[in-house]
């Protein structure tokens, strides 16, 4: 518990460390896509959110959607066997072949390597599989924490992408508000040995472009969104991270709608959604590298190591 508290405290302090002057008042307005918006009118998206469902993304109401699971159990996506639908028209032939091969491995009864089971940075949008997310809002920056393996994203607010962007594991993220919606635009991702956009092994290139839109929705709308996704994602009562559904929660949900573009992999842009609710339970410390044999019995995961010190 002390390690958990110290970790969250250190991340929070790191998030505010770049504030120009902590003793000064925050500017009363923030700039958005056009004009300015009063800070008091911004949506409060802060705090811990959970989407207790696995394994993939919810399809959009209409239009091209994500790769889904061909392996079904009782009519819904199989939580223990990931066989991506390589016939999805969003996939170019080479990408479809990658997804098909991952599915064959899963059908053979063994797991295939992913960034999460090899303790590598998950990247975006793969990282959305995390059942827990915590958002810290500041005028100059949004910090997003994920339950598994201490992964942290930082979003610069009201700034453009640099003319020359250095690729990184989570990409270069910039954000702004459009009324009641937080919009995050991310480009310049590293492509590593286990890089993929989803649990089905769908690849990506450095041309990947992700746009996220977060907004609060009322209780009824959140319930309807979760029901629509039940054919693809199994709803859990509790997650490995310790978060659980709150049966008494009648508050607003947080809906994430994101759009993916990558001309090297996809034939067209596609979209998906995730609906978060306020969960019960503790924010536990989960360290992937402390269990390197957990996913591959008898074989150690390819945990990333540094060949030289950072400093």
Interval 207-235: pLDDT, tens: 999 999 999 999 999 999 988 887 787 77
Find all residues with CB under 8 Å of 2, minimum gap 6, and list them: none
- The DSSP letter of residue 182 is E
- For the chain, give the mean pLDDT: 84
Higher pLDDT, 177 or 230: 177
More confident: 94 or 308: 94
What mean pLDDT comes out for the span 201-205? 97
Over range 249-276, report the average pLDDT: 96
Condensed to tens digits (0 to 9), the pLDDT of residues 139-160 reads 999 999 999 888 999 999 999 9
Higher pLDDT, 171 or 244: 171
Q: What is the tens place of the pLDDT at every residue in 39-60?
A: 678 999 999 999 988 877 999 9
Which among 115, 101, 127, 284 is positioned nearest to 210, based on CA atoms?
A: 127
Q: The whole model's pTM is what?
A: 0.83
Q: What is the pLDDT of residue 299?
A: 59
Domain regions of the chain by residue span = 45-287
């Amino acid at each position: 518990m002390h390690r958990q508290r110290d970790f969250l405290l250190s991340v929070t302090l790191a998030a505010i460390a770049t504030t120009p002057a902590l003793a000064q008042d925050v500017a009363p307005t923030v700039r958005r896509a056009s004009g300015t918006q009063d800070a008091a009118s911004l949506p409060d998206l802060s705090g811990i959110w959970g989407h207790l469902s696995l394994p993939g993304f919810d399809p959009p109401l209409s239009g091209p959607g994500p790769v889904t699971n061909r392996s079904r159990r009782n009519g819904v996506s199989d939580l223990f066997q990931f066989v991506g639908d390589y016939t999805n028209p969003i996939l170019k032939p080479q990408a479809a072949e990658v997804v098909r091969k991952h599915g064959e491995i899963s059908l053979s009864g063994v797991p295939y390597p992913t960034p999460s089971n090899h303790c590598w940075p998950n990247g975006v949008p793969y990282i959305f599989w995390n059942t827990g997310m915590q958002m810290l809002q500041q005028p100059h920056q949004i910090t997003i924490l994920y339950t598994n393996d201490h992964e942290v994203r930082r979003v610069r607010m009201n700034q453009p992408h640099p003319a020359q962007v250095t690729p990184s594991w989570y990409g270069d993220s910039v954000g702004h508000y459009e009324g009641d919606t937080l919009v995050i635009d991310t480009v310049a991702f590293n492509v590593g040995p286990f890089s993929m956009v989803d649990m089905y092994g769908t690849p990506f290139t450095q041309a990947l472009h992700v746009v996220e839109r977060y907004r609060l929705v009322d209780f009824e709308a959140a319930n309807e969104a979760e029901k629509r996704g039940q054919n693809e994602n199994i709803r859990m009562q509790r997650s490995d991270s310790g978060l659980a559904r709150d049966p008494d929660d009648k508050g607003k949900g947080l809906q994430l709608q994101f759009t993916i573009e990558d001309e090297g992999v996809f034939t067209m842009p596609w979209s998906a959604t995730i609906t978060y609710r306020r969960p019960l339970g503790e924010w536990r410390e989960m360290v992937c590298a402390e269990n390197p044999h957990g996913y591959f019995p008898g074989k150690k995961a390819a945990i990333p190591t540094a060949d030289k010190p950072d400093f």
